[in-house]
Amino acid sequence: MRLDRLVNVLGGYGVRLACCPVPRSAELRSVAVHDPADDRTTQGDVFLAVGAGSVAEAVAWGAAARAAVVLVRTGSDREAADVGEAHGVAVLAVDPAVSWSELAGVVYGLVLEGRETESGRGPTDLFALADSLAAAVGGAVTIEDRRSRVLAYSSLQQHADPARSATILGRRTPEPLRRLFDARGVVAHLASSDEPLFVPPDPEHGLSGRMVVAVRAGREALGSVWATCAEPLTGVRRTALADGARTVALHLLRSRASADLERQVESDLVSQLLEGTVDAATVVSRLGLPPGPLRVIAVRAHVADERHAALLLAFDRATTGFGWSRPGRSALAGTSLYTVLPGERAAPAREWVAALRAALPAQVTVSAGIGGTARPADLPAARREADECLALHESRTPDDPPPAYDESWDDILLQRLRAAAKAGRTPTRGPVAELRRHDVEHGTRYTATLRAWLAAQGDLAEAGDRLGVHQNTVRNRLRKMAGVAGLDLDDARKRLALVIALAAEDDTPGAVGTGQGTDPGL
Round to whole Å and give the CA distance between 501 and 507: 12
| Mean pLDDT for the stretch of residues 213-236 | 88
Output the DSSP codes for 217-229.
Answer: ETTEEEEEEEEE-
* pLDDT tens-digit series, residues 71-84: 998 778 788 888 99
Round to whole Å and give the CA distance between 100 and 102: 6
Round to whole Å and give the CA distance between 369 and 357: 13
* pLDDT tens-digit series, residues 32-48: 888 777 766 678 899 99
pLDDT at 181: 94
With a pLDDT cut of 90, the percent of the chain lying above it is 37
Round to whole Å and give the CA distance between 147 and 432: 57
- Do you find a cis peptide bond into 402, omega within 30 degrees of 0? no
In this model, does residue 305 exceed pLDDT 80? no
Round to whole Å and give the CA distance between 67 and 58: 11
Lowest pLDDT segment from 273-287, 336-350, 416-430: 416-430
In this model, does residue 116 exceed pLDDT 80? no
Structural Rg of the chain based on CA atoms: 32
Report the mean per-residue pLDDT for the chain.
83
Round to whole Å and give the CA distance between 8 and 15: 9
pLDDT at 165: 86
In this model, does residue 172 exceed pLDDT 90? no
pLDDT band per the 50, 70, 90 thresholds, residue 306 = low
Of 308 and 288, more confident: 288
What residue ranges define each of the domains in the chain, with the CATH number in brackets?
3-114 (3.40.1390), 126-255 (3.30.450.40), 288-407 (3.30.70.270), 426-505 (1.10.10.2840)
Q: Work out the end-to-end distance of the chain between its first and last CA atoms, rounded to an integer number of angstroms.
A: 75
Query: How many residues are listed for the chain in this entry?
Result: 522
Query: Using an 8 Å Cβ cutoff, are 137 and 229 in contact?
Result: yes
Rounded alpha-carbon distances, angstroms, from residue 376 to 12, 275, 277, 368, 389: 19, 11, 9, 21, 20
In this model, does residue 123 exceed pLDDT 80? no
In this model, does residue 102 exceed pLDDT 80? no
In this model, does residue 104 exceed pLDDT 60? yes
pLDDT at 124: 46
Q: Is this prediction's pTM over 0.75?
A: no
pLDDT band per the 50, 70, 90 thresholds, residue 158 = low
pLDDT band per the 50, 70, 90 thresholds, residue 363 = confident
Cα 198 to its chain centre, rounded Å, is: 38
Question: DSSP letter at 344?
Answer: S
